[in-house]
Structure 1
Amino acid sequence: MILLVDAGNTRAKWRLTGSDGASVKEGFDLASMPSTLAQLGVDDAPQRVAVSSVGSDQATNELDRLLQAYTSAPVYFHWPRATAGGLRNSYADVTRMGADRWHAMVAAWREFAGGVAVVDAGSAVTVDYIDSGGQHLGGFILPGLAMMLRSLSGNTARVIFEPKEHVDTRPGTNTSDAVNHGCDWLISALSSRIRQDCTGYGIDSVVVTGGDAWRWNRLGLNAVHRPGLVLDGLFWADREMHKS
């Protein structure tokens, strides 16, 4: 068994998986991990822990200590690399790339083995393009929906609104709708731009992950939805490291 951990900006997700990558158990916060591990028999205990983290050095060290308290298995942190399975990183300094972006791309390249756009719609949104030969063309980082709403709420005293779950791009006739519809309008425009870029770069596939993936798809992205894309890529990165 392998314990995979995706430590993002706002939460940590984990997956207990077999050697084939199939999920055995999953959780969406670290608090649920100890009870799950305690229920495992000796034969089912994880042999190692693989981590993808975007946290600070301090947060990463704290996570390392926490995981070592939860399990006696060795903990490995996986970071972006110049190449992985035919995928080539465009960054001159790969240490400057977020581990979540890299592992999402590793998973997408592994699945589609061709030109693919990778969208992670979380607290921050990342968009990365990979051409048909496995070359990462670069990408974009922009605020996610919650970050945009917090910015408007915190920096504009008279803009008072309630976030809404439904999607709507019509002009708002009150402040709350103007804000919510405006964010959806922006996501819709960005989705259209991603599709245009894919045509220009000869990219055939689009995959989306992250908590707001459903919203992006409702607003025109029409991508393949892979909720655990970062964990999928982390599995392959860990397998590459430990292959015999």
Structure 2
Amino acid sequence: MKNLNESQVILVDIGNTRVKYSLLSHAEEEPNACEDARSLFNFIDSQKKISHLYIASVRNQEMVGEISTMCNERNIIFVEKHTEKEAFGIKNSYDNVQKMGVDRWLAMIGAAEKAKNAFFVMDVGTAITVDFVVSGQHLGGWIVPGFQVMRNALVASTQKVYANDEIPTTFGVGNDTEDCVASGCHAAVYGVYLSAVDYISSKQTDFDVILGGGDKKVFAFLKSADNMRLAHLVMQGLARYARSELLQ
């Protein structure tokens, strides 16, 4: 599209717990976060040049509608992305693609751009999602309770078991109940990662790991292996769509 640059496009990700946004020109950086549509448009209005808004939502269609209305009032072109059967050389394994959260689809689209080989993409947030892709074919995936959901469920379901709000960044064991809960949930999350490595290793010798999500710091202790790349997955998937549709 002539005369359009990346600073005129904003990307919006409505996740399970937060609304994140970023200019297309900053899609590789840590996204901003806000609570509601009004806060989002405080930023958009401050830019005075936004022409397109690309959005993905896993939860709040009411907010999507509100954002769409506010875009129309400002003559901003509104584009909502949904899960597809195939795009950018990735083939979805789901028979009914609408059953797959768009966050998982966009994570694969974003990850495929960074991976040199077969890969699994692991998004570590409220839920942990893992999806496996070999030679462009999505093999399937897992959905697991995230660290905080796991910890909160354990505390709510047991007596005399307590937890703190700390998320471990080093791997180890606890020496009081709070630390044992945190270390145990950390070990469970790490177990998902190890299981994913084991599964993809059975399919392909060379593979990449693309890791994202708000709680990806739980893997800080791995010190980023050579085949591991960190990403802002949904943002970068949205960015790939926006660039292909607007700038090529």
TM-score, normalised with respect to structure 1: 0.85
What residue is the counterpart of 2:184 in the other structure? 182
- In structure 2, the residue matched to 1:148 is 150
1:9 aligns with 2:13: no
Post-superposition offset of 1:242: 4.8
Question: CA separation in 1, counterparts of 2:86 and 2:120?
Answer: 18
Deviation at 1:97? 0.6
Matches of residues 1-244 of structure 1 in structure 2 within 5 Å? 1-18=8-25, 26-29=31-34, 30=36, 32-41=39-48, 45-65=49-69, 68=72, 71-131=74-134, 133-167=135-169, 169-202=171-204, 203-218=206-221, 222=225, 223-226=228-231, 228-242=232-246
The question of whether the paired residues in 1 share the 8 Å contact of 2:162 and 2:178 is answered with: yes
> Could you tell me how far apart the structure 2 residues matched to 1:76 and 1:49 are?
6
Q: Percent identity?
A: 27
Does the aligned pair in 2 maintain the 1:192–1:220 contact within 8 Å?
A: no
CA contact (8 A) 1:54 1:100 kept: yes
- After superposition, give the CA deviation of every residue in 1:175-209 in whole Å (9 maximum; x if it has no partner): 21221111111122222212212211215100100
Q: Which moved more, 1:87-96 or 1:152-161?
A: 152-161
Tell me: higher relative CO, structure 1 or 2? Use CA pairs within 8 A at least 6 residues apart: 2
Query: How many pairs are equivalent?
Result: 236
CA distance in 1, matches of 2:30, 2:180: 41
Check 1:125–1:26 CA distance in 2 against 1; reply closer, same or farther (3 A cut). Answer: closer
- Deviation (angstroms), 1:143: 0.5
The one-letter code matched in structure 2 to 1:142 is V
Residue 68 of structure 1 deviates from its aligned partner by 4.8
Letter paired with 2:19: A
Change (3 A) 1:12 1:56: closer
TM-score normalized by the length of structure 2: 0.84
SS in 1 for 2:42: helix
1:35-69 per-position Cα deviation (integer Å, ceiling 9, x unaligned):
3323324xxx1221110110144443344345556
The verdict on how the C-alpha distance between 1:220 and 1:113 changes in structure 2, with shifts beyond 3 A counting, is: closer
> Are the aligned partners of 1:191 and 1:219 in contact in 2 as well (CA < 8 Å)?
no
For the residues of structure 2 that align with 1:26 and 1:152, how far apart are their CA atoms? Answer: 31
Equivalents in 2 of 1:211, 1:25: separation in Å? 10
The letter of the residue matching 2:147 is L
Distance 1:109 1:119, change over 3 A: same
